[in-house]
Amino acid sequence: MSSSVMNISEHLSCPLGFGHYNAVDICILETVVIVLLTFLIIAGNLTVIFVFHCAPLLHHYTTSYFIQTMAYADLFVGVSCLVPTLSLLHYSTGVHESLTCQVFGYIISVLKSVSMACLACISVDRYLAITKPLSYNQLVTPCRLRICISLIWIYSCLIFLPSFFGWGKPGYHGDIFEWCATSWLTNAYFTGFIVCLLYAPAAFVICFTYFHIFKICRQHTKEISDRRARFPNHEGDAAGETGHSPDRRYAMVLFRITSVFYVLWLPYIIYFLLESSRMLENPALSFLTTWLAISNSFCNCVIYSLSNSVFRLGLRRLSETLCSSCVCSKDRDVRDPKPRKRANSCSI
């Protein structure tokens, strides 16, 4: 066992390693972190996808299209993380290390770009639902939503494509592969290109829309309180409050998801900018900020399951269905036991 661990530590780059003495422990720590995150991301997003398919009430919200797109993108992030996981668990020859590193970095960047663009589109969708409730169904149709999701995937694939032509690193750090850490360097111009066309517009749209959403909701709550104070027995106020409180609660759920996304990704973006400008280069920070950002693919599942009552109901029904199917199969085996095969006389 110790010889195999030493073999892994010799052939893998350990971004957190600060010396030969603790190289083995650092490689084991990296392996545990990456394997655990890979399992949690895949299991969590598979659960979200199954719940959305099994809970019809969740499809009443148009944002379910974007939530499911994020779940699929995060699921592919977990599947992509199997590449560094297998490279840490097994001996790597390094023959195609450069191509593997480039493809892995590109895929991770594209998938997280899809999540970021979906969060921006969700904020715009909630903004239209609250500011234009009468014409919302005409503005936001299933056909337009599908076109928007297709454009998100196309745009995300195109924006990181120049990295294949030597213009810079698409943004993946915490390099598990030695070639990524030593030969594939970031470029300040490419980083500025990504920030101007992806990070900054998405952050601006999200801040603008949620600021106005909560401003309108606060004004509406104040108007209801004033109207109740003037007309305590007026029955129309309760209907007006119930009509807007679900939108406000749902906006709060999506705001939590967006806030956690940027909290986890902000250290990564800051390190990305500092490394591109050659102001900071720290392997430990590279590893920590990268995998902290990737962990957001699992956090979305947790936030949504804890914050949305409809999702919790769908999750409970899904678990009850699975448990009942297991119990029914066991009862069937008890009621109708399989007949034993009669032994052959030759075998006796």
pLDDT digits (tens, 9 = 90+) for 265-293: 888 888 888 888 878 777 778 888 888 88
86 residue type, one letter: L
Please report the pLDDT score of residue 151 as a whole number. 95
pLDDT at res. 10: 45
> Looking at residue 224, what is its pLDDT?
72
Lowest mean pLDDT among 1-5, 97-101, 206-210, 218-222: 1-5
State the sign of the Cα–Cα–Cα–Cα dihedral 11, 102, 16, 298.
negative
For tokens 């679900």, name the residue.
Answer: 246
Averaged pLDDT for residues 34-56:
83
Distance in angstroms (rounded) separating the CA atoms of residues 98 and 94: 8
Whole-number average pLDDT of the chain: 75
Amino acid letter, residue 269: I
Full set of structural domains in the chain with CATH: 20-228+246-315 (1.20.1070.10)
The answer on pLDDT for 153 being more than 90 is yes
Give the integer Cα–Cα distance in Å for 242 and 148: 30
pLDDT at res. 152: 94
CA-closest candidate to residue 205, choices 119, 296, 109, 130: 119
**Per-residue confidence (pLDDT) for residue 237, from 0 to 100:** 46
Determine the pLDDT at residue 8: 41
pLDDT at 7: 46
| Predicted confidence (pLDDT) at residue 49 exceeds the cutoff of 70 | yes
Which of 186, 251, 190, 263 is closest to 218 using CA atoms?
251
Mean pLDDT of 211-224: 80
Q: What is the pLDDT of residue 229?
A: 72
Residue holding tokens 């996304």?
261
**Is residue 149 very low, low, confident or very high in pLDDT (cuts 50, 70, 90)?**
very high
pLDDT of 239 higher than 50? no
pLDDT at 58: 62
pLDDT, tens digit, 9 for 90 and up, residues 80-120 = 888 777 766 654 545 577 777 888 888 888 998 998 898 88
- Length of the chain, please? 348
pLDDT score recorded for residue 241: 45
* Amino acid letter for position 128: L
Question: What letter would DSSP give residue 185?
Answer: -
pTM equals: 0.75
Could you tell me what percent of the chain has a pLDDT over 70? 71
Q: From CA 240, how far away is CA 177, in angstroms rounded?
A: 58
Give yes or no for residue 193 having a pLDDT over 80.
yes
Residues 58-87 pLDDT 10s: 666 677 788 888 889 989 988 888 877 776
Instruction: Give the pLDDT score at 103.
Output: 84
pLDDT given at position 89: 61
DSSP of 88-115, one letter per residue? HHS----TTHHHHHHHHHHHHHHHHHHH
Span 144-156, average pLDDT? 93
Over range 307-318, report the average pLDDT.
71
Which position has the token pair 């678990």?
A: 319
